[in-house]
Structures are given as C-alpha cells and as structure tokens.
Structure 1
C-alpha cells in the first residue's frame, strides 16, 4: 500500500505539529512553501496538507479541513512582518513574498482598510529589497530570522519588544506585525493555516490519531522543539521558545470566528464544515 503523503511547510511555527511525527508506517512527508503545498494538494501529489487559510477559503468547494488543527495567533506573530522605511500610511511601493497568498491578502486588506494603496510587486529576497521599495513583506523563517537579526539583545519582557530600528544606510526602519494589526482591528485570532484534504477523500483515522499524538508531544516538549528550530535558523533559543508558545494549534471557537471574519473581510464564503474525525 503506498504511503499517505503529508504536505508540510518547513517553518519553525509548524514544527510543534510534526516534530515528533516519524515518517514510515504508511506516512511520508513532502516539504514545500505554502504556495507549493496548496498546488500539490489540488493536483493530488499530497493527500493531507497544511494549507494557507486564504487558499482553503478560496477553494472550499474542493477542500475540507480537520476540525481541530490550526496554525493561528492572537496578537503579534513575529513572522508575518512588513519591514518598511516609510510610515504605514505613506507607503507607495511594497515587495511581496511569493510564498504565501494568505499573508499577501491580509496585508492588502489592512492597508486598504486604512486607505493606503501602494504598488505591489512579487519579489523573493530580504531587507536588500528596501533599496528599491518602501516596504517588503516577509513570512515564516525568513521573517523571524530577519527580525532576530535586528535585535541588539533579547528583551526580558514581551512588552518591551521593539518595532522600530535603524535599517540599511542608517534609515529608520519600522516592523509592522500583520497579526497584531489584525488583532487591533478585530480583537480576534488570525488563522494562517489548516490541515486539509480534498473534499471527497476523508483522512484515515489512524493518520489523524498520529497527528494529534505528535501535537501533544510537541506542545508538551516545546523547549526541545524550540531548541532544534533555533539551531536550524541560528536565532536565540529563548526568542524561539517565546515565538512558538504564542501560537494556537487547535482551531478553537475564537479561531473559527477569526477565520470566518477574515473570509467576510476578503469577500469569500465561510463554509464552516469539517471532517468528523
């Protein structure tokens, strides 16, 4: 019998879900960035995948998510950041990550809500893009590593985490956390990803059981997960541990309300149906 293939983004914020899930015994991993995983799920080359929430909502007629898994956040997420050298309301040009449609759509929504309409360009890169653009949207590992690289020291309190820095060529650099912007506007969590399958192909109960067991181990041993991810990315372990404990992985009622509110904000239906597993 062929392996059941899980689509997994190799991002630190998803590591607690699968750090303790071993390949084998009928399960295989396929790694990719969210835009790749989205495509592979529809094509059929992965069976169950973490997919971006915007992609799920836009393809809800083809997909169905697990009922109790998410990658969500209430307040600052630290890894979906707009780095910009002009104030938020004065942005004229923004370079967009090509890794995730959800973060791009969230940024567009937040700027439009404030009456800001910059010119957008899809670009891969880091802060060097600020030589040509007012802002650059980074997500995932690149975003958290870039942010960590700006810190002179790790703050003792989460209430003292800076959002303004000295950027390239001594310019003033702002870091706008999109999840925090969403929270300030809605007072709700933002759901970045869900586990989903194709609508007519329910997941095997044993696979879901193993995913739940792996998540329990990951969250119960968060220091070990953080240590591994901090070493992989070359960031301080204490910063990584704080980063990971900030996430919500169970798609609880507030998260579902946040997902529904995002669907409404971007003009997409919210089906609200999940696998009964």
Structure 2
C-alpha cells in the first residue's frame, strides 16, 4: 500500500525536505499549511508537517514524530505583523488564509495585551493592504521574510539581522515568535510532523527524513545558496534565517508547545508523540 505524505515546503523546512529521497512506497504532495492541515485531517495524506495548533486541536486523532519540529527561540523573521500604528491602537488587521498557526498565535498575543482589533481575512502583500486601509497585516512564510527585508533592510557590512530596525518608512514589523518569547520565555513550535493514529509512518520514511535533516543541517550554507536567488534575498540573510530554526522537538520545544496549547486550546486532549525506538511518550 502506498503511504501518502503532504509537505509544506517553505524555505524553513528546506534543510529537511531538499535532500529527502522518498522510499519506493511513499508519495508526496505539497501545499500551504491550511491545505495540508485539511488533507491530513480528511485522510487524503497520512503524514504532514502541519501547524502545531491543528495538532493540538485534533490531538484525539493525531500523533507526532517525537524528534521533528519547526521551532525557534526568539525571532523567526517569517511570521510578522506589519502595522502602521502602535499595537494598542490597532483597529483592523488583515489575516492570511494560509496559516491557522499564525492566526492562533496572534490571537494569544493580542489577548495577553488585552487588545481586540477587528480581524479580517484578506490576501495580498503587506504594504498594499496597509495602503488600502488596514492598520495591521499578518504575513507568513517566504513572502513574509521577503517583505520584512524590504521594509527593514538592506544589510550592510556594519549591520546584522539582529540589529536591523523594526520600523522603517512608517511601518513597524512585529515578529510574533519574538513577542511570544518576550511573553513566556519559551521556544515557539510552529509545526510538528503529525500523522493519523491509524496510519503511522513506515520506518524507512522516518529514517530517510532523519538522514535528509542531517545532510541539510550539515550544509546550511549550500541550502541557503540554493534558495536565496528564488527568494530574491542575500545568501547571508537566508543562512541566518535557517540557523535560527530548531528541528528536533527537544525538551525546551515541548515546554513551549505545551504552554501554547494551554493558552490557545484549553482542555485539549493529551498530546502524543512517538514512538521513539522502544519507547512511547504521552503527555497532556
């Protein structure tokens, strides 16, 4: 029987997916996060690197690989709120349909500040939407990374990504992962590699993913070089961006995931990870 994978192939998972060679009995399709979330939950794929919030919301149906994640400790650069007024003055915020995760994170962060602007679905580049009347625009993924750099760049020999301004040309870019770290002190997990409980991945696929990750992390400069031209960004920017990510779902990442689960989905079912070789891990 063919095993079906659904990959969200943004640049942030290039160190895992670029060099992944699928076993003979595995096929793969790609899509944006909301598409792959739906495909997994509807049974059209068996495994996907889905939004962590969808894993949490459907913990009664899903398990996650115990050692794969897309997480950061601090800024992520590609999940951004672009805004033209201070956060307490936000009135209308445009939300992307591409990501349930970023919307859930924004809602948690707004609630922590006691803010309740109107949230509306609207697609388009941040600067265009801001010019159309929104005072905040949520953008994710590769496009958000490009738009962040367009606003706050360019890098010079004297600057680094961490010293670039947050505000330029009347636009402020608030990095949601950085805001989460300021709020909680925790890592933020954007995605896990989840599968339906009745369709665990074949061992050959998991092993191939681990080998691909090892290859990608060991050659991040090469991965960045391959993707920089397509993104229209300097290699230096893309390499720093990839260095930021945590791909192994380690203990600090799980702490951050559980903290987010408690805030975003109170009363969720226990989160299940595994199995590790010889071990089944369950936590609530």
TM-score grouping bracket, smaller chain normalisation: over 0.9
Q: CA deviation at 1:9?
A: 1.1
Instruction: Give me the TM-score of the superposition, normalised by structure 1.
Output: 0.94
Question: What is aligned with 1:169?
Answer: none
Cα deviation per residue 1:191-237 (whole Å; 9 max; x = unaligned)?
00000110122111111000100000010011111111112211111
Gaps spanning 5+ residues in structure 2: where?
277-284
Supply the distance in 1 between the matched residues of 2:211 and 2:87 (Cα, whole angstroms): 42
3-state DSSP of counterpart to 1:44: coil
Supply the distance in 2 between the matched residues of 1:197 and 1:78 (Cα, whole angstroms): 28
Q: CA deviation at 1:272?
A: 3.3
Equivalent residue runs for 1:89-108 within 5 Å:
89-108=88-107
Supply the distance in 1 between the matched residues of 2:25 and 2:229 (Cα, whole angstroms): 29
Q: CA deviation at 1:27?
A: 2.6
Supply the distance in 1 between the matched residues of 2:139 and 2:105 (Cα, whole angstroms): 13
1:129 equivalent to 2:129? Answer yes
Supply the distance in 2 between the matched residues of 1:120 and 1:230 (Cα, whole angstroms): 32
Question: What is aligned with 1:41?
Answer: 40
Question: What is aligned with 1:251?
Answer: 249
Question: What is aligned with 1:145?
Answer: 146
RMSD: 1.3
1:204 equivalent to 2:202? Answer yes
Give the conservation status (yes or no) of the 8 Å contact 2:69–2:246.
yes
Give the conservation status (yes or no) of the 8 Å contact 2:79–2:138.
yes
Equivalent residue runs for 1:224-243 within 5 Å:
224-243=222-241
Supply the distance in 2 between the matched residues of 1:112 and 1:44 (Cα, whole angstroms): 33
Question: What is aligned with 2:160?
Answer: 157
3-state DSSP of counterpart to 2:68: coil
Supply the distance in 2 between the matched residues of 1:222 and 1:197 (Cα, whole angstroms): 27
Supply the distance in 2 between the matched residues of 1:7 and 1:163 (Cα, whole angstroms): 34
Supply the distance in 2 between the matched residues of 1:26 and 1:122 (Cα, whole angstroms): 39
3-state DSSP of counterpart to 2:67: coil
Are the structure 2 counterparts of residues 199 and 112 from structure 1 closer, same or farther at C-alpha, using a change threshold of 3 Å? same
Equivalent residue runs for 1:1-277 within 5 Å:
1-2=1-2, 4-23=3-22, 25-126=24-125, 127-131=127-131, 132-155=133-156, 156-166=159-169, 172-268=170-266, 269=268, 271-277=270-276
Q: CA deviation at 1:24?
A: 5.7
Supply the distance in 2 between the matched residues of 1:251 and 1:6 (Cα, whole angstroms): 20
**Runs of 4 or more consecutive aligned structure 1 residues displaced over 6 Å after TM superposition:** none
Equivalences, count: 271
Supply the distance in 1 between the matched residues of 2:40 and 2:162 (Cα, whole angstroms): 39
Instruction: Give me the TM-score of the superposition, normalised by structure 2.
Output: 0.92
